[in-house]
Amino acid sequence: MIDSGENPRCGYADLICSHKIVPMPIDKSGPRSVLAKVQMFSALSEQEFAFVTQRLVQRSYGAGEIVFSEGDACAGMYIVQSGSLRIFKSSASGREQVLAIEGPGSSVAELPVFDGGNYPASAQAVTDCVLLFLSKQDFQALCLRYPPVALKVLQVIGGRLRRLVGIIEELSFTTVRHRLIALLLRLGKAEGQGNRGGVIVTLPASNTELAAQIGTVRELVSRNLSRLQQEGLIRIDNRTLEIPSLERLEAELETPA
């Protein structure tokens, strides 16, 4: 399927409807390989895969572009084919709390598609992205025709709920130092490249983005990064960060918050 700016099924915020979508044919083998990585679609039969892939719309977004905004009427869900998305909430003062960074094979916005509500958070392209869009109507038709998919959706939503509870717990009961260390450890274990017993990671583009991920402000992130470097727990060169010892940094989480 090809999407265009005149698609009558685009019944959500003007921001998204005005987004210039680059028409491109979908290589069905591409979406099939992506869907196989998505938890709720991974065990679909050939017939079910065909049902989904025939209804997918491919959309491209540039780095920094908003995919949808919190409070917009939900038009459908997205699957990340390439690139990455940040899911975040904003306060009236403009502060942001990042809820997740989603990469290839991740699904986004299943909940509002499932419960009929608006988008509960915003999504923004971190890098240039190619997304696969499935309309709310098509997704609901899939669940009605193939009930096991609905059960898979509940599993995904349950996992997201547990992750959100973890975020609330971190924000409520730990210090900025502990939250920053926990984030650096997650980055080190997920993306770190080995280096003489330690790991090297690339930090987000700014300390403001780091602050958004741990629920604080840029100044406190900068201050705590400096302290960790003074203590020899990390080394920083521009946006490249080295963790000489993951074990030593992890031990810092055991100290009183």
What's the pLDDT tens digit per position in 217-239? Answer: 889 999 999 999 999 999 998 88
CATH tag, 175-254: 1.10.10.10
- State whether CATH 2.60.120.10 applies to domain 14-172: yes
Residues 6+ apart with CB under 8 A from 55: 1, 134, 135, 138
pLDDT tens track for 86-108: 999 988 888 888 888 899 989 99
Whether 90 contacts 66, CB under 8 Å: no
Residue for token digits 């509870």?
Answer: 165
Q: What is the pLDDT of residue 120?
A: 92
Which segments of the chain belong to CATH 1.10.10.10?
A: 175-254
Indicate the pTM of the whole model.
Answer: 0.68
Which segments of the chain belong to CATH 2.60.120.10?
A: 14-172
- The CA distance from 51 to 79, in Å, is 16
Whole-angstrom CA distances from 231 to 53, 118, 224, 235, 249 are 52, 46, 11, 10, 10
Give the pLDDT band of residue 9 (cuts 50, 70, 90). Answer: very low
Of the candidates 230, 229, 225, which has an alpha carbon nearest to the alpha carbon of residue 210?
225
The predicted model gives 241-248 an average pLDDT of 90
